[in-house]
Amino acid sequence: MFEDKWLIWKLRQGSSDALCHIYEKYKKNMLALAHALLNDKTLAEDIVHDCFVSFAGRGKTLELKTCLKSYLLVSVANRIKNLSRDNLKSDVDIDEIEIADLNSAIPLSNAINIELAGKIDSAMQQLPYDQREIISLHLQHGLKFREIASLQNVSINTIQSRYRYGIDKLRTLLDEKV
Amino acid sequence: MFNVKKTENLIKEYLHAKKNAAIFSTSMDKKILSDSLDAYEKSNISTKSVHTNIYKYSVRAAVLIIIITGFIINHISKNNFYNEITFNIIQHTFSDKTGSVRINSNDGEFSIIFDNKGKKGYVIINQEKKYIPLKLPNITNKYLESFLEMSADYFQFDKVDNISLNDFERISIQINAETLMTNGKNINNFFASLIQYRNNGGVFPTQYNGSEFARLAWHFSNQNTPGGIANYLTNIEIVCP
């Protein structure tokens, strides 16, 4: 937290090193969120690119109300939301889910085998975007509901409802598949 | 059967696994950083440019304000005061150790104070000090010298030549400025009237105590003196060191 404040201060003073440091620190989180929401690595990278360039472009004028991590992640989520619906893969074909990624890189625990991972992926993609977004921000990156609500200008009750409906739907979907 | 807790844990583990697996392609990684640095540099330049513009416009605004203020003050001083006040005593007659001359109206609303050190005056209107660069006319201290010469009789000085204004700590001449401005045109008339009074053989009464110079004022204001001085003068005070 203090490190982030220091980095932002340095950024405002014109330090490009601070910008590099921020990128190295949060690039993985941003990509992971974009990937979880889009399920498309190329598109996820593009989103992170646009998001971070936009962040850098604000440079010295940057004013943060929340922590840097929340700000960057919600920026990614908002940018994805703003994408044209046509560009999003709303109807996910299970065959297109990147099982290859899972096979090669995800060190799954014993509880989750490849088959289960595919089913979770499928279930996640069937959730409405708003619910998927909240679940990813909360469970993957540990953002608090209050933070998300504040950054998205939505009431905390709405955020909690989306989360609860999302989890319920996942339960149903997983019960059917597992 | 999945309950809420189990579902949450499962999803959490799944998402964390995806997070750990999130790796940029090398080319994209470099591109993002490079483009971001470019955007950051541009933003810095534009910010500097904004600051430069703000500075530039501030300076212009300040100069404009100074010019307008100067114009207004000049306008006020010319129209309201400069033409009316032709006082040049201080500049040549008072030394650094002397004080100031005041012109007060009876109700104290109008007061002009000349600073002999700075050779400039300020006007007090309704107890508010307003500094005005007064361009004083040519030296007229001969009037004051004449005045003192007249006063020598009153003070019983041996010789007029021995009198120096430096001998006085302060000379305060209080007149009804409002009336003076209306009828007397300028203060030179006041001294001219004094000279005229002397030349006409006017003699100050000697029965008054010299230290009570205010009585002279009483004399002026109660005698039918030439030039209508009685209409203007309310008090004269000379303070000796």
- For residues A69 and A82, give the distance between their C-alpha atoms in angstroms, rounded to a whole number: 20
Per-residue confidence at A144, pLDDT binned at 50, 70, 90? confident
Highest mean pLDDT among B7-11, B43-47, B143-147: B7-11
Chain A residues with CB inside 8 Å of B17's CB? 102, 106-108, 112, 117
HSE (CB half, 13 Å, CA atoms) of A96? 10
Q: Which of A27, A98, A165 to mutate to test the interface with B (most CBs of B within 10 A)?
A: A27
Average pLDDT value for residue range A89-110: 45
Sign of CA dihedral B65, B66, B70, B71: negative
* Nearest-Cα residue of chain A relative to residue B16: A140
Cα angle A45-B14-A141, degrees, rounded to a multiple of 5: 60
- For residues B11 and B41, give the distance between their C-alpha atoms in angstroms, rounded to a whole number: 41
Q: What is the pLDDT of residue A109?
A: 53
Helix (H) or strand (E) holding B123, with range, is: strand B120-125
B48 in contact with A, Cβ within 8 Å: no
On whether the CB atoms of residues A132 and A144 are closer than 8 A, the answer is: no
Q: Which of B1, B4, B12, B18 to mutate to test the interface with A (most CBs of A within 10 A)?
A: B18
Average pLDDT value for residue range A52-72: 80
Cα angle B165-B169-B174, degrees, rounded to a multiple of 5: 85
Q: What is the pLDDT of residue B203?
A: 39
Closest CB to B22: pick one of A20, A35, A108. Answer: A35
pLDDT in tens, B71-80: 776 655 544 4
- Report helix, strand or coil for B164: coil
ipTM above 0.90, yes or no: no
Closest CA to A71 of A83, A84, A58: A58
Chain B residues with CB inside 8 Å of A109's CB? 13
Q: What are phi and psi of B66, to 5 degrees?
A: -60, -45
Q: What are phi and psi of B194, to 5 degrees?
A: -65, -45
Q: What is the pLDDT of residue B77?
A: 52
Closest CA to B119 of B74, B165, B88: B88
Q: Do A60 and B25 touch (CB under 8 A)?
A: no
Chain B residues with CB inside 8 Å of A28's CB? 19, 22-23
pLDDT in tens, B34-88: 888 888 888 776 666 666 677 778 888 888 888 887 777 665 554 443 323 323 2
Q: CB atoms < 10 A from the CB of B183, how many?
A: 12
Q: What percent of chain A has pLDDT over 90?
A: 0
Closest CB to A57: pick one of B16, B32, B39. Answer: B39
pLDDT beyond 60 at B123: no
HSE (CB half, 13 Å, CA atoms) of A41? 17
Q: Do A31 and B24 touch (CB under 8 A)?
A: yes
| Range name among A32-41, A86-95, B21-30, B147-156 with the lowest pLDDT average | B147-156
Instruction: Compute the residue count for chain B.
Output: 241
Residues in B 71-100 with any Cβ partner in A closer than 8 A = none
Highest mean pLDDT among A6-15, B47-56, B137-146, B167-176: A6-15
Q: B175 forms bridges with which residues in the sheet?
A: B233
- For residues A27 and A56, give the distance between their C-alpha atoms in angstroms, rounded to a whole number: 13
- For residues B85 and A78, give the distance between their C-alpha atoms in angstroms, rounded to a whole number: 74
